[in-house]
Chains A and B, each alone.
Chain A
Amino acid sequence: MANFETVVVETDLLILGGGMAACGAAVEAAHWAKQHNLKVTLVDKAVVDRSGAVAMGLSAINQYVGLRDGQNTVKDYVDYVRNDLMGITREDLVASIARHVDSTVHLFEKWGLPIWKDENGAYVHEGRWQLMINGESYKVVVAEAAKNALLQSGVGEIYERIFIAGPIMNGDKCLGAVGFSVREDKFYVFKAKATLVAMGGAVHVFKPRSSGEGMGRAWYPPWNSGSSAYFTLKAGAEMTCQEVRFIPVRFKDAYGPVGAWFLLFKSRATNSQGGDYMVERKAELENWAPYGKVKPVPANLRNYLGMLDVMEGKGPVYMRTEEAIQKIADEYKEDPKAYKKKMKELEAEAWEDFLDMTISQAILWAGTNVQPEEKSSEIAAAEPYFIGSHSGASGAWVSGPEDLQTGESKQEYFWGYCNMSTVPGVFCAGDASGASSHKFSSGSCTEGRIAAKAAVKYVVEHNEAPKVDQALIDALKADILKPLDTYEEHRGETTDPEINPHYIKPRMFMFRLQKIMDEYAGGVTAQFTTNKALLEKALELLALLKEDSTKLAASNHHELMRCWENTHRMWQAEAHVRTMLFRNETRWPGYYFRADAPKIDEANWKVFANCRFDPKTNEWTMLKRPIMTVIPAAEAVGA
């Protein structure tokens, strides 16, 4: 076996991940842990400063409710999320975050994040829930607060560049996590009384649009590889909304933001015949009542109207930037000097203020001779993403807060500690926790705080050190390091180390997974359409892929990480396919379409479609959970 030193770390609360949710958890955990003389350990596979989805910065905070100024109520936010997710959301979890997110944003400001304010101190809103920020260093600011909280309080420690491969389970009990350094020959065993999972969503489960030369480019961070979902699945936790992927419609291939373009230019999106699908296909929204009849129209329905044009052969779909710019040119045609000044203004706005979020979009345009003032820019629906913190909903099924439950919902939605999964002592936040969409960065950080506070309470009330069997650790170590051994054992048998009859490298493994998902589970080339037969075929092929996964090979630490990231992706894929098969309707056209069950079925399927993998029997169980209204119609919770 590869000769890795085993490092054992014993802690009280283990926080897995380094993104916004994990940082929120760190800040909150440090406070409560100090009061109770407990230890907190955070583990990130990279470096916390720039980990997670906010790595490169953001231009806006997308969840701020504005409770203290009476701008909105918690119920307003719950209503917004419920409708955008076509009725499928946990009101208690959304409300739990919405009532606290403002305080998290105020903390960001205190930590040094510049949030735009006018001369009277009023936040400058880009939209109802969105605040403008100078956010290049947004993550650095939040990471600094998390690191300071943990390290200066004396209760915490941080491990970076340690990849978490999976949980340590003893029957139904989670005893912590195991992983390895991506730099040194070290295998890590983290023993913990409670574990908080915040390792992000999953990208590159499906074949992306940006393939070949564009490989690696994605809309959500490519380092989010399904590790949260894998961890909770392997722990035996119940999962929810595994079918609710998100499809962003963005500038094609480099995923540049279109929202900003709409705001700046009021560009129409039209098909190749000049038709505006939001106008021409408006009647289609009637088929998705009641959700299609409320503004704002749910994101998946907006996608769907555009997809109908594409499926009818009316593509490409273009953002008509040249129209908007031509209008300006016409206005100034008598005054070339004013026109030049105007164009310079626009150039500054477009290039500097919006494309700073996606420089690669600018590079792609430069490389394809797209000048927006002369040529339209193509937009397209991207490949599917698993992103429970945004407009997807996938994640673990977690307990809500006790105080927000009704007498009825308490039985279904509360089991002791807020944000605890169905595995005692395993907590989830951010993309790791499901059915609580539209958290974005601020909401994920808030949820991390909420989960951490509850997790510390759990540790205080269950303060027994985990007993971890050495034989179990030895078995996990052998399994996790096996790809290195496989490579060493067989690499001499072919002349090309990438191709060998005894093993498969992680890159090729990923291509196999992506092909399965793309062709059978409603990816880009299948126009996001699938059916029962295709999904069953996907499961058949995924079973073969699972066999292949035992033959993964890694030539170095980095490849070992890639082996496990792709194993994690594979498990996310299986949960997704099983749940799409289980939900016998189409509820989110524009995200995926069941051709054999093309309509929404409120009578039978206005429910959560949940699943659970039993590690003891290797069997999957699919189950329905009820949707319950928790926020009464007239009440404004937390206002």
Chain B
Amino acid sequence: MSCTARFECPHCRTPLTPWDSPELTSWAGARQYVCFNDDCPYYVRGWAWMQEHFNVRASYRHRFDPATGETGPLPVWSPGALKDRIVERAERSGAPGSPRAEGARRGAGVPADQDEEESAHA
């Protein structure tokens, strides 16, 4: 799978959105990539799936961790859940966490100061 394809939702082909994960979640990459497309069939089907199998009012969104290459379902409790941690467009291009920078750093632990301060580099 190409570097670009990993940053695309495999279910709806929408580009993934960078999302600042809360500290407590301790994912390798401080910035995860999530499909916040409310029409994504994976997300849409998730509501009925979770209700039927787990009796909870929740769904999940596709998530990609650029630091490890790992993907998985990220739980959400409403259409708006977690959206206020989306990294705004102005912060994205050329910044750490961009597809270019994250692809280069994948697999390495990210020192905190580099994540915040360094500009993107290949």
Contacts and interface: CB of A to CB of B under 8 A. Distances in A.
A128 B54 contact: no
A126 B21 CA distance: 10
B9 to A, nearest CB: 14
Interface string B96-122: 000000000000011111010000000
Given A134-B54, A134-B56, A266-B85, A128 B25 contact: yes
B84 interface: yes
A259 interface: yes
Contacts of B94: none
Given A72-B68, A124-B73, A128-B28, A263 B22 contact: yes
Given A118-B46, A294-B109, A348-B57, A124 B25 contact: no
**From B27, B75, B109, residue with most partner A Cβ within 10 Å:** B75
A72 B26 CA distance: 12
A130 interface: yes
A132 B109 CA distance: 25
B50 A293 contact: no
A220 interface: no
B30 interface: yes
B71 to A, nearest CB: 8
Most B CB contacts (10 A, CB to CB) among A70, A126, A266, A342 go to: A266
B75 A124 contact: yes
B24 A116 contact: no
A264 B73 CA distance: 16
Interface string B69-82: 01011110110111
**Cβ-closest 9 pairs across A and B:** A127-B25, A118-B73, A349-B77, A128-B27, A259-B24, A266-B84, A296-B26, A345-B78, A124-B73
A80 to B, nearest CB: 7
A123 B72 CA distance: 8
A79 interface: yes
Contacts of B84: 265-266, 324, 327
Given A116-B50, A119-B46, A128-B27, A259 B22 contact: yes
B36 interface: no
A285 interface: yes
Contacts of B30: 295
Prevailing SS type, chain A contact patch: mixed
Interface in A586-632: none
B111 A124 contact: no
Given A295-B115, A349-B81, A80 B73 contact: no
Contacts of B80: 328, 342, 345
Question: Most chain-A CB neighbours within 10 Å: which of B26, B56, B65, B110?
Answer: B26
B7 interface: no
A348 B58 CA distance: 11
Contact of A264 (B25, B26, B81, B115): B81
29 contacts: A70-B70, A71-B72, A76-B28, A119-B46, A124-B72, A124-B74, A125-B75, A128-B28, A264-B77, A264-B81, A266-B84, A266-B85, A293-B112, A295-B30, A295-B110, A295-B111, A295-B112, A295-B115, A296-B23, A296-B24, A297-B112, A302-B23, A327-B84, A342-B80, A345-B78, A346-B78, A349-B81, A353-B57, A353-B58
A639 to B, nearest CB: 13
A346 B57 CA distance: 12
Contacts of A117: 53
A114 interface: yes
Centre residue among B25, B58, B68, B113 by max chain A CB count within 10 A:
B25
Contacts of A634: none
Interface residues of A, number: 46
Interface of B: 21-28, 30, 42, 45-46, 49-50, 53-58, 60, 65, 68, 70, 72-75, 77-78, 80-82, 84-85, 109-113, 115
Chain B's interface: helix, strand, loop or mixed, by majority?
A: mixed
Given A296-B26, A348-B57, A353 B77 contact: yes
A114 B54 contact: yes
Contacts, number: 109
Interface string A536-578: 0000000000000000000000000000000000000000000
Contacts of A4: none
Contacts of B65: 128
Nearest to A266: B84
Nearest to A290: B111
A324 B85 CA distance: 11
A415 interface: no
Contacts of A342: 80
A122 interface: yes
Nearest to A134: B54
A67 to B, nearest CB: 12
A122 B72 contact: yes
A125 B74 contact: yes
A492 B26 CA distance: 60
B75 A134 contact: no
Contacts of A346: 78
A129 interface: yes
Contact of A80 (B26, B46, B112): B26
A296 B24 CA distance: 8
A116 B54 contact: yes
Contacts of B45: 119
